[in-house]
Structure 1
């Protein structure tokens, strides 16, 4: 039966540090070594955090007894934690543990737990939030005296030339002619007749001078502006367009935030596989499978299960150990899942 290996966060959590917990190991707890291989390209983790096709063995002088009797633990640092966290979204990792004297050898799959932090994340956190180390000088900063700026005395403004006032025009007041007193009362009818004639003439003149009624100009036809083109609808967080325009991590975070159901997520994963976005497909599988979605975990296990495997660009070869890992993950949340238990037992070496 393969060993079960978990990568657990410390309490309190320390960036770049973790506990490597091994279950079902039947050998000694001292003088051991292990290698880690990723399934993406079958490369092995090296001591300088790179990956190579040559196995590299991390030596462990002694494992400590864990909280359970069948658990052995050892502390590991950034040389192992950082590379595993960096590739956990797109790869699975197989660990081989063996005794230095060439005795017992066993294999399993490394399972990074939730809450692990890389050493890079820890450094950024301190740089952004650690304000306690900033020292404030006790002596106030002395500002040197600045040389006084001498400005030239302003010249008196020239007095504006007074313009010779123009003589005000003399308005001649019309002479008021006093009406002459009528000499005789017989002139009154004549005056009235003249006034009537003047009134008639004035009325005729006003009628002739009446302006013609202007025909109102026709208003220009209203120009109907074309309707503004509707703004393009932003692509949804789980669409193929978003896969092409976002990074793998951003797409997975935004799509998972939409919480599609299992059937919809399987369609999204199928779209990612067809478009060659293998990292997105593997990240979506792993995220929901580790969160307890049994349907997604079954589908992910079948991608590696030799009995159900269908070769594709993203899952070129079957991997019995990886399939067993995901069947075991299903049993952790659904112990009565008969199919997962059957396949898990049949995949044991």
Structure 2
């Protein structure tokens, strides 16, 4: 039975570095070696990130057993990661793993997983890391001591009307005692009401206005992220990233993929398929498997020929999420024959 091989990003992600994960390997864990062959010209990856028609074997002294106990893992560097990331939209890679010297040998399909970075992305990663470090000294700038500077001048304002309340106390002496007392009380009540109204108005004016909901802008941004116009105007990777971030549902994503195929944006179709399929979307993974399955293949510029191993890979991906998927299991088993 073919082995299942994945090239996955490390945690934390490091440019030019990846984890080579192998499942269903029946041989030893030590003294292994592997070769990688691409489909378009059947050349083999060589030392120095070049391709040649002669097999070259990358030696691994020992694979580690994954935490799940179901796979073997080994870290690989730019000599493997960079050439696979540079492959075209239709590039497929066959990997053969064997024991050094006579022994167990098996083959499978390997392709770069989402999130992998080429070694040339090191500068971007360092700048991101530097920004995270700067977050510590930046934090004190958000201190609240500045708030009193805004509040103190305003809190003193209500105290200014107090002399107004005091003036009537000294102005009514010439008036008769009974009338002056009643007039004074009435005037004080009016003044107090005016002060209360002024304070209330001031408080309402100072109260922060309720935040306007930002949801209204989202549909527009999401709608524009996955349009044919954006696909034609943006760089391939930028379009894929923005469209994935918009998170269209499975049916809408299939429409976008079909538009990409029709416009011969084969890299876009491949990347959208792989991202959602690897994330566990069974509908997308099934559609992707059909692109390579000889039973369902409809040849196009982006998917010109059947590839049993690749179709089986995506059917197996479905089964890891849904072991009871009868169609995926049937096609997976038939493609293994």
Normalising by structure 2, we get a TM-score of: 0.65
Residue number in structure 2 paired with 1:196: none
Residue number in structure 1 paired with 2:231: 243
Q: CA deviation at 1:263?
A: 2.1
Secondary structure of residue in 2 paired with 1:306: coil
Q: CA deviation at 1:278?
A: 0.9
- The CA deviation string for residues 296-320 of structure 1, in whole angstroms up to 9 with x for no partner, is 1111001111211122111111111
Determine whether 1:285 maps to 2:299.
no
Secondary structure of residue in 2 paired with 1:236: helix
Residue number in structure 2 paired with 1:77: 77
Secondary structure of residue in 2 paired with 1:347: helix
Residues 102 and 114 (structure 1), Cα distance of their counterparts in 2 relative to 1, 3 Å cut: same
Pick the aligned partner of 2:312 from 324, 329, 346.
324
Secondary structure of residue in 2 paired with 1:341: helix
Residues 44 and 336 (structure 1), Cα distance of their counterparts in 2 relative to 1, 3 Å cut: same
Residue number in structure 2 paired with 1:121: 121
User: Distance between the aligned counterparts of 2:128 and 2:252, measured in 1?
Assistant: 39
Q: CA deviation at 1:42?
A: 4.3
User: Distance between the aligned counterparts of 2:41 and 2:275, measured in 1?
Assistant: 21
Q: Is the CA contact (8 Å cut-off) linking 1:25 and 1:70 kept in structure 2?
A: no
Secondary structure of residue in 1 paired with 2:225: coil
Q: Is the CA contact (8 Å cut-off) linking 2:8 and 2:20 kept in structure 1?
A: yes
Residue number in structure 2 paired with 1:220: none
Q: 1:1-349 residue pairs with structure 2 within 5 A?
A: 1-39=1-39, 42-87=42-87, 91-110=91-110, 112-126=112-126, 129-130=129-130, 236-349=224-337
Q: Is the CA contact (8 Å cut-off) linking 2:18 and 2:81 kept in structure 1?
A: yes
Q: Is the CA contact (8 Å cut-off) linking 2:299 and 2:305 kept in structure 1?
A: yes
User: Distance between the aligned counterparts of 1:293 and 1:128, measured in 2?
Assistant: 30
**Count of aligned positions:** 249
Which segment is superposed worse, 330-339 or 92-101?
92-101
User: Distance between the aligned counterparts of 2:247 and 2:129, measured in 1?
Assistant: 32
Q: Is the CA contact (8 Å cut-off) linking 2:280 and 2:321 kept in structure 1?
A: yes
User: Distance between the aligned counterparts of 2:46 and 2:324, measured in 1?
Assistant: 40
Residue number in structure 2 paired with 1:195: none
- The CA deviation string for residues 141-170 of structure 1, in whole angstroms up to 9 with x for no partner, is xxxxxxxxxxxxxxxxxxxxxxxxxxxxxx
User: Distance between the aligned counterparts of 1:290 and 1:88, measured in 2?
Assistant: 19
| Unpaired runs of at least 5, structure 1 | 133-232
Normalising by structure 1, we get a TM-score of: 0.63
Q: CA deviation at 1:87?
A: 4.1
Detail structure 1 runs of 4+ shifted over 6 Å in the superposition. Answer: none
Q: CA RMSD in A?
A: 2.9
| Unpaired runs of at least 5, structure 2 | 134-219
User: Distance between the aligned counterparts of 1:268 and 1:40, measured in 2?
Assistant: 26
User: Distance between the aligned counterparts of 2:266 and 2:36, measured in 1?
Assistant: 22
